[in-house]
Amino acid sequence: MKVAGVELQGSSVAVLGLAKSGLSAIALLRAQGALVTASDEKPFADLPAETRAALEDVTFVPQVDDPTLGQDLVVLSPGVPSDLAILGAARGRGIPVIGELELASYFLTGPVLGVTGSNGKTTTTALIGHILAQSGIDALVGGNIGTPPTSLIGASNEDTWLVLELSSFQLETVSNFTAKVAVCLNVTPDHLDRHKTMEAYKSAKARLFTTQREKSFAVLNAEDEACTEFAALTKGWPVWFSQDRPVTPGLYVQDGMVVLDDDPVMPVRDIPLRGRHNVENVLAATGASHLAGASLEQIAAAVRTFPGVEHRIEFVRDRNGVAWYNDSKATNVDAALKAIEAFDNPLWIILGGKDKGSDYRPIARALKNHVAGALLIGAAAGKIAGHLGADIPQVACGTIEAAIDHAARYAVPGDVVLLAPACASYDQFTSYEHRGRVFKELVQALAEPAKAGRN
């Protein structure tokens, strides 16, 4: 098999980044007869034991020693920036540099339904997978949602949809990859610590649409400027969605009903997910699922039974009239804003983590009328404090344990405690999932209070 012009059998291939995607790529490459060199920014001794075990009989070269030297092809895990100096030098030597998603595209069979966006893509991807399953349509779900695309190859076939959540990190290196149905929910500032500019970030998202072919479809947010630009870039047929006005062809809300091209789908009140943004997610998922063959009746029935996604405005517990919610997946400002907008109650919000070059001032405006307190944690706490300003009550907690303890002491019945950090997790946790699990475990372990009172 040739990948990016390179015959894999007998070729030397370097894989950079040894999380799930990298290890999955290594397994595929070895099965194809490639001679694999593995590399990571961490020294071999610092890798998890299971990773070291998976690299048995694979050459390891530290990233600082330039593992691209002498290679025929370089494959990147999504977490590895594509603008590293060693990669620029490799390209200068004529070595193709591709991502794990691009590698998978040469082997996957079956139509691809790709979902991207700054916020909502995990929920929308999972919802599409749920709708297709409930409609009797064969589908595999993966990508950024948890299963690397290269791990789906063995189960893929021409009659099975590949429903993939796709991040900008995965999309920035694609060329051969193409989606039959491509969805973009929104494009708002995120990952600027890696992409540096909004234009570069938007350009990475655009690859989902510039690689589409004839007779494909682009499901796009009619109220998002970047999405309207993507419509001009794709060879596919645009299908729009909007909460604010009728769109055609497309999905919208009218008189409390989700509507597709004048055909009613379901009442908005029947959507079990909290927040205005989740109505948009349902609109996009409805359009994509219908294009994949689900009827409107099947879609409505499946949406009503969708359980939601872990770490996305996930109800954890009611403790003496105080509701606790986990939105650890709110790793950027826009996601945190959407979570805030889902509540009218007095809000204790846990903010902070690893900064991604964000402006947190919009959060201050959103919190102004119903904040009980902002509980600040992690490396970004000082920057967030400055952006929130003196009008927002703040508590410098440092850790998630201290934030939970403060909220447990001072929240009163009717309040909501919300973890919506607006930051990455990597300063104190291994992932947003790890952060969310720790939050839930600590909240569940709280004893019932004797009596509470706000300070």
pLDDT digits over 46-80, tens only?
999 999 999 988 999 999 999 999 999 999 999 89
Phi and psi at 163, nearest 5°, equal: -95, 110
Lowest mean pLDDT among 336-345, 402-411, 436-445: 336-345
Task: Starting at the earlier edge strand, list the strands of the sheet with 314-319.
Answer: 314-319, 322-326, 416-419, 347-352, 371-377, 394-398
Kind plus residue range of the DSSP H or E element containing 250: strand 250-254
Phi and psi at 88, nearest 5°, equal: -60, -40
3-state secondary structure of 141: strand
pLDDT of residue 307: 86
Task: Give CA angle at 363 (358, 367), nearest 5°.
Answer: 165
Residue 208 has pLDDT above 90, yes or no: yes
3-state secondary structure of 337: helix
Mean pLDDT of 91-104: 97
The answer to whether 440 is a known catalytic residue is no
The rounded distance, in Å, linking the Cα atoms of 185 and 168 is 13
The rounded distance, in Å, linking the Cα atoms of 247 and 21 is 38
Q: If pLDDT is split at 50, 70 and 90, which confidence band does 100 have? A: very high
pLDDT of residue 309: 82
pLDDT of residue 47: 94
pLDDT of residue 61: 96
Q: If pLDDT is split at 50, 70 and 90, which confidence band does 195 have? A: low
Q: If pLDDT is split at 50, 70 and 90, which confidence band does 246 have? A: very high
Q: CA nearest 212: which of 180, 166, 257? A: 180
Q: Who has greater pLDDT, 119 or 377?
A: 377
- Computed on alpha carbons and rounded to an integer, the radius of gyration of the chain in Å comes to 23
Residue 30 has pLDDT above 80, yes or no: yes
Q: If pLDDT is split at 50, 70 and 90, which confidence band does 4 have? A: very high
Report the chain's mean pLDDT, rounded to a whole number.
94
pLDDT in tens, 346-356: 999 999 999 99
pLDDT of residue 369: 86
Q: If pLDDT is split at 50, 70 and 90, which confidence band does 451 have? A: low
Q: Who has greater pLDDT, 454 or 333?
A: 333
Q: If pLDDT is split at 50, 70 and 90, which confidence band does 28 have? A: very high
The rounded distance, in Å, linking the Cα atoms of 282 and 128 is 9
Whether omega for the bond prior to residue 96 falls within 30 degrees of 0, making it cis, is no
pLDDT of residue 350: 98
Q: What percent of the chain has pLDDT over 90?
A: 88
Q: Which domains does the chain have, with CATH numbers?
A: 10-95 (3.40.50.720), 103-304 (3.40.1190.10), 314-444 (3.90.190.20)
The DSSP annotation for 27-96 comes to: HHHHHTT-EEEEE-SS-GGGS-HHHHHHTTTSEE--GGG-TTTT-SEEEE-TTS-TT-HHHHHHHHTT--
pTM of the model: 0.82
Residue 455 has pLDDT above 80, yes or no: no
Residue 196 has pLDDT above 90, yes or no: no
Q: CA nearest 377: which of 395, 356, 359? A: 395
pLDDT of residue 450: 61
Number of helices (H), then strands (E), in the chain: 16, 22
The answer to whether 326 is a known catalytic residue is no
pLDDT of residue 119: 86
Active-site residue (options: 144, 186, 326, 332): 144
* CA end-to-end span of the chain: 67
Active-site residue (options: 191, 195, 387, 406): 191
pLDDT of residue 192: 60
Q: CA nearest 47: which of 31, 26, 28, 30? A: 26
The answer to whether 144 is a known catalytic residue is yes
Q: CA nearest 167: which of 45, 297, 21? A: 21
The rounded distance, in Å, linking the Cα atoms of 126 and 142 is 9
Kind plus residue range of the DSSP H or E element containing 257: strand 257-260
pLDDT of residue 164: 98
Strand partners of residue 318: 323
Q: If pLDDT is split at 50, 70 and 90, which confidence band does 36 have? A: very high
Mean pLDDT of 413-424: 97
Phi and psi at 263, nearest 5°, equal: -95, 120
pLDDT in tens, 161-192: 999 999 989 999 999 999 999 999 999 866 66
Q: Which amino acid is at 93?
A: R
| Cα separation values, 266 from 36, 288, 297, Å | 51, 16, 9
pLDDT of residue 322: 96
Q: CA nearest 243: which of 285, 209, 278, 195? A: 278
219-225: long-range contacts, CB 8 A cutoff, minimum separation 24: 219/181, 219/182, 219/183, 219/184, 219/284, 219/287, 219/288, 219/291, 220/183, 220/184, 221/184, 221/185, 221/186, 221/280, 221/284, 222/247, 222/250, 224/184, 224/185, 224/186, 224/187, 225/187
pLDDT of residue 453: 52
Active-site residue (options: 121, 205, 290, 311): 121
- Both tokens of 247, joined, read 């769109």
The rounded distance, in Å, linking the Cα atoms of 94 and 82 is 15
Q: Which amino acid is at 102?
A: E
The rounded distance, in Å, linking the Cα atoms of 239 and 222 is 9
